[in-house]
Copies of this chain bind each other. A is one copy, B any other.
Amino acid sequence: MKTALVLFAHGARDPEWAAPLHRIRERIAARRPALRVEVAFLEFMRPPLAESVLALAGAGHNRILIAPLFLAPGGHLKRDVPELIEQAQTRFPGVAIELLPPLGEIDAVLDETANWLAGKVQE
């Protein structure tokens, strides 16, 4: 499989809002230099998810992991995102598109957040 990753976030009107996605992207690039990593947004920012998937499928990737950089599954992740993925899946039946869990369901991320906060309390 030729795998690619999409960092998918809500988006905001403020252009600086996307900075953390690029920080995560740089960190992944340091760990997996050969992996193609794109960003995508639900609203306010570009590109939308469909455009990132199109670019990756067009470049021959046949496994696309969507990492939703959301705290928890609310209306967006329960309704909007599955619909977007279904549309992309219909368009590219030969590509395996997988939705990863949101940040608040990843134990390692929760642990690290709790560690950091517990440390701040003592400062």
Count of chain copies: 2
> Closest CB of chain B to A11's CB: distance in Å?
9
Cα of A23 to Cα of B20 in the assembled complex, Å: 22
Q: Is the CB of A31 within 8 A of B74?
A: no
Q: Is the CB of A109 within 8 A of B109?
A: yes
> Closest CB of chain B to A32's CB: distance in Å?
5
On whether A31 and B112 interact (CB within 8 A), knowing A103-B103, A105-B20, A121-B5, the answer reads no
A59 in contact (CB, < 8 A)? no
A110 in contact (CB, < 8 A)? yes
> Closest CB of chain B to A82's CB: distance in Å?
14
Residues of A63-102 contacting chain B, CB below 8 A: 65, 67, 69-75, 78, 100, 102
> Closest CB of chain B to A75's CB: distance in Å?
6
Q: Is the CB of B18 within 8 A of A72?
A: yes
| Given pairs A24-B110, A70-B71, 8 additional interface contacts (CB within 8 A) | A12-B74, A14-B73, A19-B104, A24-B104, A24-B117, A106-B113, A108-B116, A109-B112
